[in-house]
Amino acid sequence: MSTYIDTMHPERHAPYDDIPRDVRDFLNYMGAILNRSPRTVNGYYIDLRTFFRFLLRQRGVVPASCAFEDIDIRGVDTQAIASVTQAEIYEYLYYLKNERGNEPAARARKLTSIKSFYRFMTVKSNRIAEDPAKDISIPSLKKALPRYLSLEESIDLLKNIQSDFYERDFCILTLFLNCGMRLSELVAINVNDFKEDTIRIVGKGNKERLVYLNAACVDALEHYKSARAALKKLAEPRALFVSARTGKRLTARRVQQIVERCLQSAGLSGKGYSPHKLRHTAATLMYRHGNVDMLELKEILGHAHVSTTEIYTHINTDKLRKAASSTPLSRMKFQQPETPASEQPAEEQAEDG
């Protein structure tokens, strides 16, 4: 089975040897032509593999006793792909909800994978004539407000780091909380990505952006670089964040563990915080306390569209509180009406009696 992502070299992938040729061509198109990141392409790979496994089981092509993960889809040819109906896609969505327990966001993402694949098969490569997914609408999803640390919690987190490599872990948290970078962006940073007070970040779709470093980031980096230079073993000298034991680049999972441990030592575990929530925290603090506008925040976070950034306009509670207080009616106080006893309702007069 293809694992696709090479964990040591996330820009590489294993051969697509367990999927149909058409799907393999689609993934190559996504990566090479549309310049989607390896992690994004891997998501399409998993989603489409699951869909065609379901299809073969649904059509009775494989024995009922065959485990879902063992279903071989390599024999699904262009003719079989063209024969998929809209009803079968609806059956698949029903299966995702009721048998796999997928939430609406997960089902919407998997439907997007199918729609993108069939658009490639019909419009981009002209391999089939009809698109069975064309008229299936992706349901609108409720946008939840991002979870983030308060300013006080952020300070507590930085003040309560317990680590055997304090300089490194303090620097990691400082960059997360000040620069709003993604986890994948942080682990990919190289030593030569810095120039004066800027850092070159490679974001989604291999898009580069410059992020300016404030005084706290510069100070944390200087202390960490001194500690890093003292390491006896440096297996990957280009990598900025490395293991103190092996000298190799930290993996995304290892950084997650570092953040989880630091949150626990600060008494902030169990609240749903994660490296991605630290990114939300950075954006929220910039917007609420730094008077950063949406276009500036979009560039800092590396969003493709300002509509993605606009979610942070809903979390400035200070502005909302001020707006609610701005109406002249906000100063009205409760007053007991001065109603003569003769005009009171009969039941109230009886009670008074």
Across the range 77-106, mean pLDDT stands at 94
DSSP-H helix ranges across 59-196? 78-82, 86-98, 104-119, 151-159, 166-179, 183-187
Q: What's the confidence (pLDDT) of residue 115?
A: 96
- pLDDT 10s digits, 308-337: 445 555 555 555 556 556 656 666 666 677
Rg (CA), the chain: 27
CA distance 107 to 93: 7
Q: Report helix, strand or coil for 209.
A: strand
pLDDT on residue 7: 42
CB 263 within 8 A of CB 269: yes
User: Mind listing the pLDDT tens digit for each residue in 168-225?
Assistant: 999 999 998 888 788 888 999 999 998 888 888 877 767 777 888 888 989 999 999 9
pLDDT at res. 323 = 57
What are the backbone dihedrals phi and psi of residue 22, each rounded to the nearest 5 degrees, phi first? Answer: -60, -40
> Could you read off the pLDDT of 95-148 as tens digits, one per residue?
999 999 998 889 999 999 999 999 999 999 999 999 999 999 887 766 666 677
The mean pLDDT of 227-233, rounded to a whole number, is 93
Catalytic residues: 182, 204, 276, 279, 303, 312
Q: What's the burial of 144, exposed, middle or buried (CB within 10 Å: 0-12/13-18/19+)?
A: exposed
What distance in Å separates the CA atoms of residue 228 and residue 216, rounded to the nearest whole number? 18
Closest to 154 measured CA to CA, from 72, 237, 263: 263
What does each C-alpha distance from 232 to 33, 198, 248 come to in angstroms? 43, 28, 12
Residue 128 φ/ψ region, left for φ over 0, alpha for ψ in the -120 to 50 degree band, beta for the rest: beta
User: How distant, in Å, are the alpha carbons of 27, 196, 207, 240, 253 from that of 249?
Assistant: 27, 23, 21, 7, 11
